[in-house]
Each structure stands twice: as C-alpha cells, then as structure tokens.
Structure 1
C-alpha cells in the first residue's frame, strides 16, 4: 500500500482523493444549473462532473473535515439558499442562522485547503508578487495545528462570513462600473483569492452565495459589524457592509478578473446552446436561468 504524508496530521498513511471545494457546493451548483453540468472556471471549454480533488488527507482526517462540511451544509448553506433567497438570488426572508464550533472549523478548513496548496488559478488576484509569503506560511501552519486539535485558536486573526445576494438588493453599489455577469459571480460561482497590499493581507473565498474573509493583517476587519464568526452564536443573513475597499473588491474588481478567466469562445457558446436545447425540461426550474435573466435585465447584455 502506497503511503504518503497526510498534510493535516503529518502521519504516513494512504491518502484519499480530497475535494478542495466541498462536494455539497458542487452538487448544489449542478442541481440548480441549466444543464446539470459545470464548467471549469479556468478553462471554460471543459465541462466538469465533480469538484477538483487532490491527494491531501488520510481517511481519518478526511472524516473529520466531512463532519464540519455536513454541519455547515445542513445548518448554514442549505437553509440560506432554500429558505432565505429566491431563484434569482434575491432575499425573500430575513433571519439568523445558528452555529456552533463546527462553523469556524469548516471555514478554516476551507481556507487552509485552498491557501496552503498554492493553487495559482485560485489565489492570484494580481500579477504582483505577494509581499507576505512568510506570514502566509506561518498562518497556514497555525491553521493546520488548529484543525488537528494541537491548539484551541486560529491565531491572531478574525474570520467573517458574508451572505451574498442579487445585486438588486444592494442599493449602494448599483451605480458602480459592474461586471455584466455580476449576479452569476455573486451567487453561482466558487472562488478564492488573497487580498493584499504592503500593509494588508486577507484570505477571501466563496462557495456559491456565501463568502468568507479571514483578516490576517490587520487582524480585524473594519466595517463588517455583524459578520464576524465567533465560537458559537447566530449570524444574520442581512448584514451591514461598510468597508468600501473590500466592497469594491467583491463587487467590482474580482468579478471582472473572473470575467477574463471565463471569457467564452465561439466553440463553447455553441456547446452551451446545444446543451441548453437538450435540457429545456429543466430551464424554468433552475437558478442559473433566473440569475442569468436578472443580469440581462440589469445590463441589457444577452449572452
């Protein structure tokens, strides 16, 4: 039996094919899509059936992460997308979602998987070299120790959960120079990126309409008063976002960067049109259709 080092417990064991993006996210995106399939976010001509996997964890550690994923899916993700938003991604019901220690564990496990692997297609927000390489290494190692129960805290940082929704629900950003496919980015995509300059470093990731920010430098975010994740509590699905710089990243800068990555070729357009034609029985019931139509109404651009 081939054995390799598990990246979490550091023991020599047989490694499992671990999801980077949790399987429940991939399953939800496929179930609510027009065709029942996904496109590779970095190669829009390639259809994918499952999320990216990599030999990362042993079976025991994979089981630990699966427990966190299951709790987050049942108590945060599915209640939000099923009970609090409609098919176009607009909020139809206010409220709070309760959580326990598994919430922070899940978020940090996601951040650790993405940002400790150096996945270039996810983490490069700019072409500039990241000036915080050593701090990132130290943070990722502390995250590993936290997830492996070697320490009881995540380090000198704070983590925030952001509930995204249709741009029609954000009156303060509607007039900005926005991507024509902004709703698709906010509601229907998964993504991750460092956000940084010489004096700041944040880990940003999103899975469908839920995003996470871990503030490393400085260790607290300004302007997100009701989004910080504690060890246990409840978090509102309608939140105040008052940090203009981070709002610009989420609503303007990052969606446009992803537009460039996902620029469709004529070949892909023909493939998608054919696939949609073969799945007309699904069209009216899918979130993809409603979100796409919402983008069309907002921008007047039909793709």
Structure 2
C-alpha cells in the first residue's frame, strides 16, 4: 500500500504547497549502523508499542531539502562515523572540515521537531530562546546552499507596502528586519561538540546498555545560560549549544563562577546530568516494558521473527 502523499510547507526552505517527504530526525544512515539484523525494527522505549521500521520520520522537508541534507549525512558517515565504529567505539577519529554542518543539520531538525511537532516548551519563557535558535540554525543551513532552490522566509522585508506611510517605530522595525535578513548567520555564541560516553565518565556497562539506544532532544540549564540540542547513539554524544549571554547568572561562590567560565567542561557536566536523568527514566520504564513483552506472546513472536534472520553485526 502506497503511503499517503503529504502536501504542505517545507520546514527548511519555506516553499508552500509542495510534497513533503518522510524525513528522518536522526539520519537513516545512523539507524542502519545500529541494526543487528536486516529486518530489525525500532521501538519507542517510552511508548513500547510504537514501532519504527527504519527510524522516526516526520513529513518535514521537500525532496530538494532532503537531498541537500543527504550530502552532509553521507559525508559524516564515510569520514567520521564508520571510522569511529572501526575503532570499536573507544576513541574519536579526527574531525573533518565541514562536520559542523552535519551536526547543525541534525540539531535543527531536533529543535524544530521539539518546537513545532511536539509543541514543547509551551507557555514557558524558554520557548522564545529555542525559537530564536531554530531560526538561526535554519538561516545558517539555507545560506550554505548551492542548489537552485529559492528560499522563502518570514524574515524577508515586505516590499509590497513600500509606498505606504509608516510611523517612526514601524520604519525602525522595518530597518532592523532588513538588516537581520541581509546579514549572514555567523553562529555567534553557538558551538558544536562531539564527546564519547567514556569521555563523560560512563562505565563500560552503561555504555553497552546505551548501545542500542538512539535519542535526541533539546534541554536548557536552570540558569538559562546553556541551551543544548543533542543526539546520542553508539557511544557518541553530539551537541549543539547556544550560550545565552543575555541571561543573568549570579554564582553562589567563586568555584561556580570558575566552572561557568569553563565552557566545554560546563557543557559536559550538563550533558552528563541530562543523560543521568534519561537513564533514570529508562529504569522506571523497564518493568512496564517487560510486562508488554510478556503479554500476548510478544516475546515469543520476537524470538520467532529473528530466529532465522540474517545477522549483519
């Protein structure tokens, strides 16, 4: 049965009334490196009956934008991920020029998904900052394009009302909008990092536990200084962080002040706290998931499904 065609607005280029692809949030090439069998399927650990054939997908991007992201995904897989896996997940290979573009392409998808599909951070003042981050990452990705796609953005100056009289305030806003639209995104206060779970201090036992998990979402620190979008798979933790310099942070002592100045260490600490929280949620969900596996012969059906399946890793 063919899948229903979805017509809508592309989240990246902004073109409307265009066919949307089933876009992976975490790239399909990552899922293919996680699969143990050719016919492996994935489950949402926190909604165990929800199955994915080859990863979570959403109607998000047009065909051209899918192809645009594909080049970053293939490059990342060939130049970094496969080399990392060849090292048995123990150390990181050298990072190639352009790896940042892959990281940002995934981070943008995650934060867009969080904001506009899951509708996260509703009725919180943090949402405005996340929306700003999404907008900046999208602008950066679009300005890198070398294809012939015309990008539409709500930030473009409105030239249809050029002859209408405007108040002084409206003219100031129009000027600011034009400046922001024409100024290239420099990613000021935005950084990308790649760590291993080992580097973050996790034991071999926990690294093995996480080996079959793929996750990605956004979170921020309590002091609002750090807004992080991260993904985690195969022992890798890949993060995009926005340092919100407008936030006011009053440290309680000199030690905390020193810690806040050590950006990379501060990020690693925040990531570890978040991953520890995720680990606690995994533990809480475990009994319920075992009940599901033990009901309706589910465990036996899974064993039968993979009994004669071809193992690929």
* Cα deviation, residue 157, structure 1: 1.2
The correspondence for 1:213, drawn from 219, 224, 239, is: 239
The question of whether the paired residues in 2 share the 8 Å contact of 1:109 and 1:147 is answered with yes
The question of whether the paired residues in 1 share the 8 Å contact of 2:8 and 2:20 is answered with yes
The question of whether the paired residues in 2 share the 8 Å contact of 1:164 and 1:187 is answered with no
Question: What does residue range 270-289 of structure 1 map to in structure 2 within 5 Å?
Answer: 270-276=297-303, 279-280=306-307
The correspondence for 2:191, drawn from 158, 179, 185, is: 158
The question of whether the paired residues in 2 share the 8 Å contact of 1:34 and 1:282 is answered with yes
The equivalent residue for 2:262 is 222
The question of whether the paired residues in 2 share the 8 Å contact of 1:115 and 1:123 is answered with no
The question of whether the paired residues in 2 share the 8 Å contact of 1:6 and 1:56 is answered with yes
Question: If each structure's strand is expressed as a fraction of its own residues, which one has the higher value?
Answer: 1
1:40 matches 2:66: no
Distance in 2 between residues matched to 1:35 and 1:271, nearest whole Å: 17
* Cα deviation, residue 10, structure 1: 1.1
Closer, same or farther in 2 for the Cα pair 1:129/1:189, shift >3 Å? farther
* Cα deviation, residue 212, structure 1: 1.6
Distance in 2 between residues matched to 1:112 and 1:214, nearest whole Å: 9
* Cα deviation, residue 62, structure 1: 1.1
Q: Tell me, what secondary structure is at the counterpart of 1:51?
A: coil
Distance in 2 between residues matched to 1:224 and 1:42, nearest whole Å: 30
The correspondence for 2:96, drawn from 84, 94, 99, is: 99
Question: What does residue range 1-303 of structure 1 map to in structure 2 within 5 Å?
Answer: 3-12=7-16, 13-30=18-35, 32=36, 36-81=40-85, 83-85=86-88, 91=90, 94=91, 96-101=93-98, 103-118=99-114, 130-149=124-143, 151=184, 153-165=186-198, 174=203, 182-184=206-208, 186-196=210-220, 197-200=222-225, 201-218=227-244, 222=262, 224=264, 243-250=268-275, 252-261=276-285, 263-269=288-294, 270-276=297-303, 279-280=306-307
Closer, same or farther in 2 for the Cα pair 1:33/1:261, shift >3 Å? farther
Closer, same or farther in 2 for the Cα pair 1:71/1:129, shift >3 Å? same
Closer, same or farther in 2 for the Cα pair 1:123/1:221, shift >3 Å? farther
TM-score (norm 1): 0.68
Which structure would you say has the larger RCO, counting Cα contacts within 8 Å and 6 or more residues apart? 1
Q: Tell me, what secondary structure is at the counterpart of 2:43?
A: strand
Deviates more, 1:252-261 or 1:110-119: 252-261
TM-score (norm 2): 0.66
The question of whether the paired residues in 2 share the 8 Å contact of 1:188 and 1:209 is answered with no
Aligned length: 250
* Cα deviation, residue 14, structure 1: 2.4
* Cα deviation, residue 149, structure 1: 0.9
The question of whether the paired residues in 2 share the 8 Å contact of 1:123 and 1:194 is answered with no
Where in structure 2 are there 5+ consecutive unaligned residues?
A: 145-183, 246-259
* Cα deviation, residue 22, structure 1: 0.7
Where in structure 1 are there 5+ consecutive unaligned residues?
A: 226-240, 288-303
The question of whether the paired residues in 1 share the 8 Å contact of 2:105 and 2:141 is answered with yes
Closer, same or farther in 2 for the Cα pair 1:67/1:35, shift >3 Å? closer
Q: Which has the larger radius of gyration?
A: 2
Distance in 2 between residues matched to 1:223 and 1:33, nearest whole Å: 40
